[in-house]
Structure 1
């Protein structure tokens, strides 16, 4: 009887772990698809502008990956500004960068004048 209870408990724990991993994977995929969708929307807008410019006789300009990232950051900034969460986001970012700076700061050297 004790063996059956232990086995059922282990089975239940394994099922919970599988469900947890499945939820984590789906949320990760969802975040990835959202990010891709934002990048694609930026590209489609740019392509529309380039088509119109081509009709006017101008040469096409293709966005670099870095410029796409800049556009995504601008959109993120604007959405945070509209929702009123910009200041908290900037505070968190400032704290994160400060801890990074402190981590890479060199240790104090021993005084040379004591020798």
Structure 2
């Protein structure tokens, strides 16, 4: 039910994300150059940051809804065949999203650099938990 509500919202208000928000961002960026009041400039910058966040978060939510939509479609077909429905867990959605990202990076040829960054990040995390070497203290 929640998916349908979100899907309907996106359909009805897609023009905001495609046209209105980018246009408003451009207008704000031009107005920052003209403004002299520091409070007004800060407010405009905050508004631009909010717009950027909205535009960036949209594709991520879209990927999840696409995964769910595909799964629901398959489950409806299986239900027609007489099988019991299987609902995806959040972890499975996350896993499928990761697999999609992996395939996308592989096609674009950016997989190696992405994996290298991931390895460095994990190594630095592991390094924090390594105990310090103790000094022998003996002769």
Question: 1:46-85 to 2 correspondence within 5 Å?
Answer: 46-85=71-110
RMSD between superposed Cα atoms in Å: 1.8
Q: Which runs of 5+ in 1 are unaligned?
A: 1-7
Max Rg structure? 1
User: Following the alignment from structure 1 to structure 2, what is the Cα–Cα distance between the partners of residues 105 and 42?
Assistant: 39
Q: Deviations over 1:7-59 (max 9, x none)?
A: x85x1x33332222111111112222221111111001000000000111111
Q: Distance in 2 between matches of 1:104 and 1:30?
A: 37
**Counterpart residue number, 1:14:** 39
Task: State the partner residue of 1:94.
Answer: 119
Give the 4+ runs in structure 1 shifted more than 6 A. none
TM-score by length of 1: 0.81
Q: Which residue of 1 aligns with 2:129?
A: 104
Taking structure 2 as the reference length, the TM-score comes to 0.68
- For structure 2, the 5+ residue unaligned runs are 1-34
Q: Distance in 2 between matches of 1:22 and 1:32?
A: 15
For the residues of structure 1 that align with 2:108 and 2:45, how far apart are their CA atoms? 31
